[in-house]
Each structure stands twice: as structure tokens, then as C-alpha cells.
């Protein structure tokens, strides 16, 4: 069975600083994808970044990067130059990929607060 663990219920970061949100996962599938989603207080789920289990390079999308350490089964999200608008819940998720059934398994989330 797949499992996602996010151990930081809440985090604070100063505006313009970088922050790392932790995510560890467990799976026996060789092919899997790791995702990060952002959920602002308005409730929508916004896709941020994706990393495939076979990808050699860490994924990056603008100010977001995913620090993928396969041996440690970790997929931490790094947000550089934090902005006030980054305050939100962040969810790490995983799924099987390559047409094997794509349901997402989510962690419990980390609430990030950016201080001015």
C-alpha cells in the first residue's frame, strides 16, 4: 500500500526567505509519481509540481523545486523567496503512473504561514 507522511502540521517563514516542507512516502511500486498541491483558504487545490520515480533530475517550476531523494523515500518541497500569497495548506501526494491507476494518496498537509 502507498502512504504519504507529512510531519510538519504548521510552519512559519519570513517573507523573502526560502522554506522546505517535508514529505516522506512508502510504496512497493517501482513506477510512481509524487505531487505537491497548494490549498489556499479559499479551498481550491492548485497543482504545483510533479516528480516521476524514474526522473533523474529534481523537478522545478518557478519558485518551487522538489528535492527528490529516492533512497530516503523523501520528496520535500522547497519554496524560494516566500511571498505573502504562499500562505496556505500544502499537500504532498503520490500515485501509480504509466496507466496503472492514478488515484492520489495524500498526506495530512502542512499549513504554511508567511510573515511580513
Report in angstroms how near the CB of residue 33 gets to other proteins at its nearest: 5
What is d(CA 92, CA 66) in angstroms, rounded to the nearest whole number? 11
**Would you count residue 25 as binding other proteins (CB under 8 A)?**
no
Report in angstroms how near the CB of residue 71 gets to other proteins at its nearest: 22
What is d(CA 25, CA 98) in angstroms, rounded to the nearest whole number? 19
Q: Which is nearer to other proteins, 8 or 52 (CB)?
A: 52
* Alpha carbon separation from 114 to 19, 37, 82, 90 (Å, rounded): 10, 17, 7, 13
Report in angstroms how near the CB of residue 99 gets to other proteins at its nearest: 5
What end-to-end distance do the CA atoms of the chain give, in Å?
Answer: 41
**Would you count residue 18 as binding other proteins (CB under 8 A)?**
no
From candidates 25, 36, 37, 68, binder to other proteins by CB under 8 A = 37
Residue 19: in which H helix or E strand, if any?
strand 19-21
**Residues in region 45-104 near other proteins by CB under 8 A:** 45-47, 50, 52, 91, 93, 95, 97-99, 101-104
Q: At 93, is the secondary structure helix, strand, or coil?
A: strand
| Site for other proteins, rule CB under 8 A | 33, 35, 37, 43-47, 50, 52, 91, 93, 95, 97-99, 101-106, 108-109
Amino acid at each position: 500500500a502507498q502512504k504519504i507522511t507529512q510531519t510538519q502540521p504548521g510552519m512559519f517563514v519570513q517573507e523573502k526567505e526560502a522554506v522546505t516542507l517535508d514529505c516522506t512516502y512508502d510504496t512497493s511500486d517501482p513506477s510512481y509519481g509524487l505531487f505537491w498541491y497548494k490549498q489556499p483558504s479559499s479551498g481550491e487545490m492548485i497543482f504545483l509540481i510533479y516528480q516521476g520515480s524514474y526522473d533523474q533530475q529534481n523537478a522545478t517550476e518557478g519558485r518551487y523545486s522538489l528535492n527528490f531523494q529516492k533512497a530516503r523515500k523523501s520528496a520535500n518541497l522547497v519554496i524560494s523567496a516566500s511571498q505573502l500569497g504562499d500562505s496556505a495548506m500544502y499537500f504532498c501526494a503520490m500515485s501509480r503512473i504509466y496507466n496503472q491507476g492514478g488515484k492520489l494518496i495524500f498526506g495530512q498537509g502542512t499549513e504554511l504561514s508567511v510573515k511580513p
